[in-house]
Amino acid sequence: DDELQDATLYIGWRAEAEFGGFFQALATGLYEKHGLNVEIQLGNPQSNPAQQLIAGKVDFTVGSSGTALNAAREGAPIAAVAAMFQKDPRIMVGHPGQGYESLEDMVGHTAYVGALGMATFWPFLREEFGFSDENVKPYTFSIVPFVADETAIQQGYATNEPHALHMAGIENPVAFLLHDYGYRPYAVNVMARQDDIANRPDFVQSFIDASIEGWQDYLHGDASPGNALIKERNPDMEDDVLEFALETIRQGGFVDAEDAAELGIGAMTDERWREFYDTMVSAGALPGDIDISKAYTLQFVNNRVGLQ
């Protein structure tokens, strides 16, 4: 019997349903089955997962497509090896009864956007829809200012804010998924060091395969082991919050729709990467001369893992 290989996944955030597949894989022993002894490390919004990865503190991190492209731009020795979310759950939400029919109707309203949002999706919104920096107010991980202002809009996740707003007494908030409006990065990308990709492909492959199986099981099997582990790691987590997020992920097909339906969870394609990159270039958020092939590799995905 082979020794288990140690692997660390840094999610850079607290435990919640958005990372449910990883927790499910850990809770149900999928990682061990693939010969891995995995530890999931939590973080906070100010941490920089990429640096941890480069420094060799951890083996895998969860990042956005933007991170991967930035790494390619700067020549950082890391790359995306799988995309667990085919659709970024990023939304813009507004109060009901403000006459929002589509995203365009939100232009001109006070918008609570975080600092990182200003460097990622906001340039896209500005370029494509005419949102203006003048209306932006800082988002501080609290929806209170937004709740207090009927006319305001704010950034959010489809898996989270609608429920939070519901709890705050705002029924049926209006939410537009940016994915539907052409902002189409992958999300929950698994990132790994180039070094591991080149020299320990089996190690990376095992991790990806186990994680995919974890996600498969989390969405279509019994999610309770994963949820239990999430709650263990995050005692503040409430059942209804988890439930809402999981339902949203399931119904919105965030993990297993689009390319993933055919290629399996974690799927990535050159076309999608190119498309997203072009979007960012035309929004002015990235320069046009990045060799995006450095940002990701398709070598570990699209193997229909978990599909019958």
Partner 1 sequence: MNKTSPLRRFGLPIGLGILTLIVWEGCVQALNVSPFLLPGPVAIYHALVDDWGLLSEALLVTLQITGLAFVCAVLGGGLIAVLFSLSRSVETTLFPYAVIMQVTPVVAIAPLLIIWIDNVRLALLACAWLVAFFPILSNTTVGLNSSDHNLRDMFRLYGATTRQTLFRLRMPSAMPYFLTGVRISGGLSLTGAVVAEFVAGTSGQGSGLAYRILEASYQLQTPRMFAALLLISLTGVLIFLATSFISQRILGRWHESAMEREK
Q: Does 199 participate in binding partner 1 (rule CB under 8 A)?
A: no
**C-alpha closest to that of 52 among 80, 6, 16, 12:** 12
The secondary structure of 226-268 as a DSSP string is HHHHHHHH-TT--HHHHHHHHHHHHHHTTTTSTHHHHH-TB--
Measured in degrees and rounded to the nearest 5, phi and psi for residue 123 equal: -55, -35
Task: Give 296's DSSP letter.
Answer: B
Q: Is 129 in the site for partner 1 (CB under 8 A)?
A: no
Q: Among 107, 164, 281, 307, indicate the residue that binds partner 1 (CB under 8 A).
A: 164
Determine phi and psi for 152, rounding to 5 degrees.
Answer: -80, 160
Amino acid residing at 288: G
Is 228 an interacting residue with respect to partner 1 (CB under 8 A)? no
Q: Are 306 and 216 in contact (CB under 8 A)?
A: yes
> Is 47 near partner 1 (CB under 8 A)?
yes
Closest alpha carbon to 163 in 43, 243, 99, 102:
243
Token output for 158: 């489809």
Counted residue by residue, the chain has a size of 308
User: Whose Cβ is closer to partner 1: residue 170's or residue 305's?
Assistant: 170
The one segment of 69-77, 202-210, 211-219, 298-306 that binds partner 1 by CB under 8 A: 69-77
Strands 153-157 and 90-94: antiparallel
The least distance separating partner 1 from the CB of residue 215, rounded to whole angstroms, comes to: 21
Compare residues 180 and 238 and give the one whose CB is closer to partner 1: 238
54 scored as a contact of partner 1 (CB under 8 A): yes
By CB under 8 A, is residue 108 in contact with partner 1? Answer: no
Is 107 a residue that touches partner 1 (CB under 8 A)?
no
* 168 near partner 1, rule: CB under 8 A: yes
State in angstroms the smallest separation of the CB of 42 from partner 1: 5
Strand, helix or coil for residue 280: helix
Among 118-126, 210-218, 244-252, 259-267, which window interacts with partner 1 (CB under 8 A)?
A: 118-126
The binding site for partner 1 (CB under 8 A) comprises 13-15, 41-44, 46-48, 50-52, 54-55, 57, 66-67, 70-71, 73-74, 76-77, 113-116, 118-119, 122, 133-134, 136-145, 147-149, 164, 167-169, 233-236, 238, 241
